[in-house]
Structures are given as structure tokens and as C-alpha cells.
Amino acid sequence: MTTLTELSANVLALRAEIDTLLAKEDYIVEELAEKAVTLNSLLNTKPSDILDGEVYRLFLTDHLQWLNAVIGRISEEKQAIASSILQTQRRKKAEKSYGENQ
């Protein structure tokens, strides 16, 4: 069984890996997904030494706040990418239309 100290160390290490990955300009989405699955698994592991539910609740709350911030960053990136794709499609359509009218 895993203790809260061990679990916390593993989760913090994985969080650092995810933060490092997200800091890259063009990270691999599949790699992020794999790390997210691992993080989910870790956070669903109840430590063997939990005597005080409040300590565990605070542990989970802290990581939930971090996770919500990461989700927010990813959502912003997704929106920016979608806007860029839409703008590119509009530009191509306009160029095609302009070329046909020449």
C-alpha cells in the first residue's frame, strides 16, 4: 500500500512533468493524455496511512485546483487553435474566390 507521503511525491513529480510538457510550444497531445491517465490513477489511490480524512481532503483539493488551472490553460490553447484554423480556412476561401474572379 502507498502512504500519503509517497503518493504526494509521485503526484508532485507527475505534475512537474505535465507542467514541463505544457511549457513546450508544440507538445505531443498523446503524451499529455498518458500523463493525465496516470495522474487520475494516482489520485484515485487512497493512501494506506490516512487517519484524518481532512488531511486527505486537503491533498485532493490542492490537486483539483491545480488540475482546474491546467484544464483552463488547455482550453485557452484549444480556442486559439480553433480560431487560427477558422481564420486560415476563411483566407483560403477568399483567395480561391479572388482567383476565380480574376
pLDDT tens-digit profile of 30-57?
A: 999 999 999 999 999 888 888 778 888 9
pLDDT of residue 102: 65
- Letter string b/e over residues 35-66, b meaning 16 or more CB atoms within 10 A of that residue's CB: bbeebeebbeeebeeeeeeeebeebeeebeeb
What is this structure's pTM? 0.76
Query: Alpha helix (H) ranges present in the chain?
Result: 4-23, 29-43, 53-100
pLDDT of residue 94: 83
pLDDT of residue 25: 84
Segments in the chain below pLDDT 70: 101-102
pLDDT of residue 85: 93
